[in-house]
Amino acid sequence: MLKAFPFPSLVYPPSVSAPRYVVKMSAIATKNTGIAAASLGVKPPAHPTYDLKGVIQLALSEDAGDLGDVTCKATIPVDMEVEAHFLAKEDGIIAGIALAEMVFNEVDHTLKVDWSRKDGDKIHKGLQFGKVHGRAHSIVVAERVVLNFMQRMSGIATLTKAMADAAHPAYILETRKTAPGLRLVDKWAVLIGGGQNHRMGLFDMVMIKDNHISIAGGVTNALKSVDQYLASNNIQMGVEVETRTLEEVNEALDYASQSKTSLTRIMLDNMVVPLPHGDIDVTMLKEAVELISGRFETEASGNVTLETVHKIGQTGVMYISSGALTHSVKALDISLKIDTELALEVSRRTKRG
């Protein structure tokens, strides 16, 4: 089990040293999040072993080290109470509100948090969209961990919303190109932004990629091996095969027409061809979609950007996956300030609010 993070030690008098904490991950399903239902506008994706509370404790332990917040201990009276406000420094989609509440509760369950927005809502530059009241020590200790989660999640949600809108009628998916240890958090942000989740990991979907195909000796051999494995182990789950040419698409279709198969989706990889001046050629992708003709789900991958996703979405493909949603996300600028008037003055001076 997880070792509880004893945060009262972070507000001990300066003479007391905080103990060293070691956080271990445990096999607790993510449905046991401990988040208030009112805050949980979009539920986190399910995972059989991911412990969201453990991730929060690890982030807090990373900050506290073996002494706790020495600056707080040195400068802030233990019993002082304050109110701090969340301030948006740029426009975007807010994400991580429910997770922020988990962090505050883990640090100090007496903190009171109120929001004027919920996960998935639009926020604009200069907006105060939430506040937290309680012990100053606890708020400052939680501040950076809360903001690190919220800024990353909001950046992912903002880009996902833009790409999901542009991709319509296709659905936008992320990939496994997530920050190590933060996969569930990253994928949660995609859901908040209006996207859908691809497989969570290696365990919940068979995905036959190029290296599997090369080792197996071709698409047919790989599909046959997967069907035999699933049948012999009495496993039922989605199966996707990556194809890179129209010949591989036809090979997958020929196999499926002659055999009982668990194949559910065909990935059409790098069939979007970049052209000069930022345009793309989707001829090959459209031809592949027409060949499949609704017999299986289709997914486009490769050369997917905010500029190209609309044209890709008009080809008839069902899903579009983009690693950029999570692997190179730009965090949304958000701050948590006790003196909001001074913060706004500085923001105006620096053109960040």
Contact 39, 91 (CB under 8 A): no
Residue reference for tokens 């956080």? 23
Q: Is residue 93 a part of any domain in this protein?
A: yes
Instruction: Please check whether residues 146 and 75 belong to one and the same domain.
Output: yes
Q: Is residue 143 a part of any domain in this protein?
A: yes
Q: Is residue 291 a part of any domain in this protein?
A: yes
Q: How far apart are CA 174 and CA 190, in angstroms?
A: 7
Look up residue 193 and give its two tokens.
């932004």
Q: Which residues are catalytic?
A: 144, 177, 209, 240, 269
Structural domain of residue 315, as residue ranges? 205-321
Instruction: Please check whether residues 214 and 311 belong to one and the same domain.
Output: yes
Instruction: Please check whether residues 107 and 63 belong to one and the same domain.
Output: yes
In Å, how far are 93, 242, 333 from 154, measured between CA atoms? 6, 31, 9
Q: Is residue 173 a part of any domain in this protein?
A: no
- Which of these, 284, 280, 252, lies nearest to 269 by C-alpha position? 284
Instruction: Please check whether residues 275 and 219 belong to one and the same domain.
Output: yes
Instruction: Please check whether residues 151 and 216 belong to one and the same domain.
Output: no
| pLDDT of res. 277 | 87
Taking only the tens of pLDDT, the chain with its 353 residues reads: 333 333 333 333 333 333 333 333 333 345 445 555 556 689 999 999 999 999 999 999 999 999 999 999 999 988 899 999 999 999 999 999 999 999 999 999 999 999 999 999 999 999 999 999 999 999 999 999 999 999 999 999 999 999 999 999 999 999 999 999 999 999 999 999 999 999 999 999 999 999 999 999 999 999 999 999 999 999 999 999 999 999 999 999 999 999 999 999 999 999 999 999 889 999 999 999 999 999 999 999 999 999 999 999 999 999 999 999 999 999 999 999 987 676 567 667 777 65
**Number of compact structural domains in the chain:** 2
Instruction: Please check whether residues 143 and 240 belong to one and the same domain.
Output: no
Q: How far apart are CA 159 and CA 114, in angstroms?
A: 26
Q: What is the CATH number of the domain that holds 222?
A: 3.20.20.70
Contact 92, 343 (CB under 8 A): no
Strand bridging mode 273-274 / 280-281: antiparallel
Q: How far apart are CA 186 and CA 204, in angstroms?
A: 17
Instruction: Please check whether residues 296 and 243 belong to one and the same domain.
Output: yes
Q: What is the CATH number of the domain that holds 116?
A: 3.90.1170.20
Instruction: Please check whether residues 313 and 251 belong to one and the same domain.
Output: yes
Contact 68, 10 (CB under 8 A): yes
Q: Is residue 92 a part of any domain in this protein?
A: yes
In Å, how far are 100, 188, 247 from 118, measured between CA atoms? 12, 14, 47
Look up residue 145 and give its two tokens.
């961990």
DSSP string, 83-113: EEEEEESS-EE---HHHHHHHHHHH-TT-EE
Contact 108, 145 (CB under 8 A): no
Instruction: Please check whether residues 222 and 146 belong to one and the same domain.
Output: no
DSSP string, 14-49: TTSPPPP---------TT-----TTT-SSPPPP-SS
Residues facing 265 on adjacent strands:
240, 297
| pLDDT of res. 339 | 73
DSSP type of residue 27: -
| pLDDT of res. 340 | 60
Number of Cβ within a 10 Å radius of residue 278 = 9
Find the helix or strand (DSSP H, E) in which 208 lies.
strand 206-208
Q: Is residue 41 a part of any domain in this protein?
A: no
DSSP type of residue 278: G
Instruction: Please check whether residues 79 and 145 belong to one and the same domain.
Output: yes
Q: Is residue 181 a part of any domain in this protein?
A: no
Q: Is residue 18 a part of any domain in this protein?
A: no
Computed from CA positions of residues 153, 149, 37, 338, in that sequence, does the dihedral angle turn out positive or negative?
negative
Contact 306, 163 (CB under 8 A): yes
| pLDDT of res. 10 | 39
pTM of the prediction? 0.87
Computed from CA positions of residues 48, 52, 53, 59, in that sequence, does the dihedral angle turn out positive or negative?
positive
Instruction: Please check whether residues 295 and 344 belong to one and the same domain.
Output: no
Counting runs of H as helices and runs of E as strands, what totals does the chain give? 12, 14
